[in-house]
Amino acid sequence: MENIEYVEPKTVREACALLAKSENAKVLAGGASLVVLLKNKLIFPDQLVNLKTIAGLDRIDPSPEGELRIGALCRHRDIENSPVIQERCEILTQAALSIASPPIRNMGTIGGNICHAEPSADFPPALIALGATLKITGSKQSRTVPIAEFFSDYYENVLEPDEILTEIRIPPLPSFSGGSYLKLNKTTNSVAILGVGAVIGLDESGNCAYAGLGVGGAASTPLAITDAAMLVEKPITSSLIETVASAAVKRCEPISNVHATETYRKEMVGVLARRALTRALEKAERTTKES
């Protein structure tokens, strides 16, 4: 960690300009992942650009149109404790609570969790299920990317060297909605073997108006299971849920490692997808009865 220049920009534009000038800079947000990489000498940056000195990147703002905007520097603890998130998309509360331990949740940020691009990270499956998009700001322009298209390979994403993830945007859900994030791990604080997020929205007649399903830990990147769309405009039955869960298994290409075999992971994708969709549906149905 010798000879690393440390800089504290005050604006996003300044941070992007610094990244554009450097050949080997890294962004520092919460530091939960970055510090581990530095200590284990897996990366050797020339410059660290600290985003924590930029005001406004840690806000949680519901827009008048119903969109929810989450700043990339919101800590896991901020997500966990936000009344707005608990009311509008509780699945993110569930995902935040499943991340490591309280000290890590006090330090790590949702933006860092996403940009680290770990295939089994907890937030991506939940955000995929919610249909989230990411606002990316560069030195010359900004762009918006669906989160399912943000990940390119193991620990790799589509960010250009001068770009920063600044905001996560969650579109409005149907009035009667529910979500569930389920995590398979060896211990409470361990990295997920698998993570599955499901969101179901119902219309006034009880038919499905929205369905999202995301899977982490079952491929080189978090996956969007687009087959969930077959639930839309129908009354959701257990057989339909089983069909979507089976489709999720077919789309996964997990690896075998010390935590689990490929065969076990595939089988558990079907189990968790079925459970998550069922629980999301139950929560959505509960909201119809409470209205």
CATH number of domain containing 245: 3.30.390.50
Same domain, yes or no: 25 and 72: yes
Same domain, yes or no: 84 and 144: yes
The CATH code of the domain that includes 121 is 3.30.465.10
Percent of the chain with pLDDT over 90: 82
Assess whether pLDDT exceeds 80 at residue 188. no
106-132 pLDDT tens trace: 999 999 999 999 999 999 999 999 999
Which residue blocks in the chain are alpha helix, DSSP H?
Answer: 12-21, 34-39, 76-81, 83-88, 90-97, 102-107, 110-115, 123-130, 238-251, 262-290
3-state secondary structure of 89: coil
The b-or-e profile of 187-225 (16+ CB within 10 A means b, else e) is eeeebbbbbbbbbbbbeeeeebbbbbbbbbbbbbbbbbb
In a domain, 52, yes or no: no
Query: Across residues 152-172, what is the average pLDDT?
Result: 96
Assess whether pLDDT exceeds 80 at residue 162. yes
Which pTM does this prediction carry? 0.95
Phi and psi at residue 137, to the nearest 5°: -115, 130
Same domain, yes or no: 17 and 31: yes
Identify the domain containing residue 143 by its residue range: 5-46+57-170
Q: Give the total number of structural domains in the chain.
A: 2
Would you place residue 184 in the very low, low, confident or very high pLDDT band (cuts 50, 70, 90)?
very high
pLDDT mean across residues, the chain? 94
Question: What DSSP element (H or E) covers 75?
Answer: none
Neighbours of 7 (CB within 10 A): 15
In a domain, 151, yes or no: yes
Maximum average pLDDT range among 4-8, 103-107, 162-166: 162-166
Three-class SS of 161-177: CCCEEEEEEECCCCCEE
246-283 pLDDT tens trace: 999 999 999 898 889 999 999 999 999 999 999 999 99
pLDDT at site 2: 64
Tokens at 160, concatenated: 């250009």
Same domain, yes or no: 205 and 162: no
In a domain, 128, yes or no: yes
Assess whether pLDDT exceeds 80 at residue 133. yes
In a domain, 51, yes or no: no
Same domain, yes or no: 143 and 212: no
In a domain, 188, yes or no: yes
Would you place residue 37 in the very low, low, confident or very high pLDDT band (cuts 50, 70, 90)?
confident
200 vs 41, which has greater pLDDT? 200
Assess whether pLDDT exceeds 90 at residue 67. yes
Assess whether pLDDT exceeds 80 at residue 1. no
Measured CA to CA in angstroms, residue 32 lies from 111, 158, 240 at distances of 11, 21, 40
68-92 pLDDT tens trace: 999 999 999 999 999 999 999 999 9
Would you place residue 42 in the very low, low, confident or very high pLDDT band (cuts 50, 70, 90)?
confident
Assess whether pLDDT exceeds 90 at residue 227. yes
Assess whether pLDDT exceeds 80 at residue 237. yes
Same domain, yes or no: 164 and 253: no
Would you place residue 39 in the very low, low, confident or very high pLDDT band (cuts 50, 70, 90)?
confident
Same domain, yes or no: 28 and 122: yes
Same domain, yes or no: 23 and 143: yes
Measured CA to CA in angstroms, residue 124 lies from 112, 197, 289, 291 at distances of 11, 9, 30, 30
Measured CA to CA in angstroms, residue 135 lies from 21, 69, 150, 287 at distances of 22, 10, 11, 31
| 248, β-bridge pairs | none
Percent of the chain with pLDDT over 70: 98
Given 170, 190, 208, the domain boundary residue is: 170
In a domain, 126, yes or no: yes
Residues counted in the chain: 291
Q: CB–CB of 18/9 below 8 Å?
A: yes
Same domain, yes or no: 85 and 131: yes
Same domain, yes or no: 10 and 111: yes
Same domain, yes or no: 41 and 22: yes
Given 142, 170, 198, the domain boundary residue is: 170
Q: CB–CB of 291/175 below 8 Å?
A: yes
Same domain, yes or no: 162 and 255: no
pLDDT at site 40: 87
Task: Report d(CA 143, CA 141) in Å as an integer.
Answer: 7
Task: Report d(CA 100, CA 93) in Å as an integer.
Answer: 14
Given 170, 200, 228, the domain boundary residue is: 170
